[in-house]
Chains A and B, each alone.
Chain A
Amino acid sequence: MALEISYDVIQVTLLSLYVSGCATILGSAIGIPLGALIGLKEFGGKGLLKTITYTMYGFPPVVAGLAIYYLFSRAGPLGSFGILFTPTAMILAETLLVIPLTTGITIASVAEVDRSVKETVKSLGTTPRQSVLTVMREAWVGLVMAAMIGFGRCIAEVGAAYMVGGNIKGETRVLTTVIMLETRQGHFDYALGLGLVLIVVAMAVFFFLRLLQEKELL
């Protein structure tokens, strides 16, 4: 079945971008400040926390999906929100996958900032908050990289999206879940075409983020 740029394909692509984009933004909004704090503050158990964060890079998507499924299922503690099998649940599950990545990459990025930069910033009389924000700005390339890798994980993700989204046509169907479905039904050409769309969309977003990364913050 040849791929046509139909209304369905556009809708699925836009939903993929929406879910992955929101999860990346949410995951970055939580992970980047958290990573900066862990990376820049000295406290007991910091090494262990870093190891746990790095270990979570391999957090299985189905487990993230399972956690969200359990929380928001009708009998679950947050079941009254009624968000299971909606894009919101998919965003939450994917956010869980993004947080360890953005946190870990931020920890590494702020640690990479030259010690004398941190010292210079401190010697200029900055408040602790000003110091952290300045070091984060110095680590800009790494922080954008964290968001890029987070987005990469989301856009390619299928397990969690399928589990909490349900692959409902017109509602929670995203590129990865529809590729899986079409492959199962034997529509290999169509699935391949959608795979191509997925790659192009991902590349376009990465290209935009790369521009953002290379932008000199003067």
Chain B
Amino acid sequence: MSDAIVLKEITKRFKEVTALKSVSLTVAKGEVFGLLGPSGSGKSTLLRVADLLETPDTGRVEIDGETVRADSKDAFQTRRRIGMILQKPMVLNRSVENNLVYALTVRGWSEEESQKRVDRELKRLGLEERRMKNARTLSGGEMQRLCFARSTIFDPALLMLDEFTANLDPANVALLEDMVRNYASENKERTVMVVTHNLFQAKRMCHRVALMWDGEIVEVADKRRFFEAPEDERTAAFVSGELVY
């Protein structure tokens, strides 16, 4: 199986803080990969580097075998192949329908094509009747579902999720996790990278998991081995809940 994301020796500093210390990581195509770690361990920064929202100080990012730089003029072309969902549901100040249309029109989809796809998504989301309502009037769960739909409506091969259920109730967490699972299983080429500090979520969703600690990756392993027989003592402490975070 080829690699969807390759991160090579990534270092990133924010003033006096080194958020990433020569981190290398490979995520295979078709994989649901989890990045676990306590707050401030650098996992969100690593995801932002992979999503080309942050330019690393050193190191290389490869997406689908192509080396890309976040600060290059054509980085947006690569970002168009990636769906990203942030922790805070962030909808644009426009209708539910136009939040979805937006993701397609920036990609140059025709009005007719966009409308068909948007109708299908609204039906799937159960938001058909609220299509003309301002998206900011939706509940937190609905907004995050809308964000999910907006990030996947153009069929990206890569989906990146940053604590995407952190502020939601259990019912919405289950619903969104299902949406991600379905999305990933519809096409074997689709890759998902999930940043979470929720052990159970990583267990439920991921094929492979990595633990980040103080800007470094401490361990990467298959889900079963990661949770049942971790090699690193920090991973063992983290999965057993002994580490306070």
Contacts and interface: CB of A to CB of B under 8 A. Distances in A.
Interface of A: 114, 116-117, 119-128, 130, 134, 137-138, 140, 216-218
A126 B102 CA distance: 10
Contacts of B94: 137, 217-218
Interface stretch (B75-83, B119-127, B174-182): B75-83
B53 A119 contact: yes
B44 to A, nearest CB: 11
Name which of B51, B81, B90, B151 has the most chain A CB atoms within 10 A of its CB: B90
A154 to B, nearest CB: 29
Contacts of A130: 106
Nearest to B48: A119
A169 to B, nearest CB: 48
A116 B86 contact: yes
Given A119-B86, A120-B90, A216 B106 contact: no
B92 A218 contact: no
B77 to A, nearest CB: 8
Nearest to B103: A124
A126 B95 CA distance: 19
Sorted nearest first, the 10 A-B pairs with minimum C-beta distance are A125-B80, A123-B84, A218-B95, A125-B79, A120-B90, A116-B90, A126-B106, A130-B106, A125-B76, A124-B103
A138 B82 CA distance: 23
B93 A125 contact: no
Contact of A218 (B82, B84, B98): B98
Given A116-B88, A117-B92, A216-B134, A123 B51 contact: yes
A164 B43 CA distance: 62
A125 B106 contact: yes
B132 interface: yes
Interface residues of B, number: 26
A123 B76 CA distance: 8
A216 B98 CA distance: 12
Interface string B195-220: 00000000000000000000000000
B90 A114 contact: yes
Contacts of A116: 86, 88, 90
Contacts of A137: 92-94
B90 A122 contact: no
Interface string B61-99: 000000000000000110111101010101011110010
A47 B82 CA distance: 34
Contacts of B93: 137-138, 140, 217
Nearest to A122: B53
B63 to A, nearest CB: 12
Contacts of B132: 218
Contacts of B88: 116
Contacts of A126: 76, 106
Contact of B79 (A114, A117, A124, A218): A124
B107 interface: yes
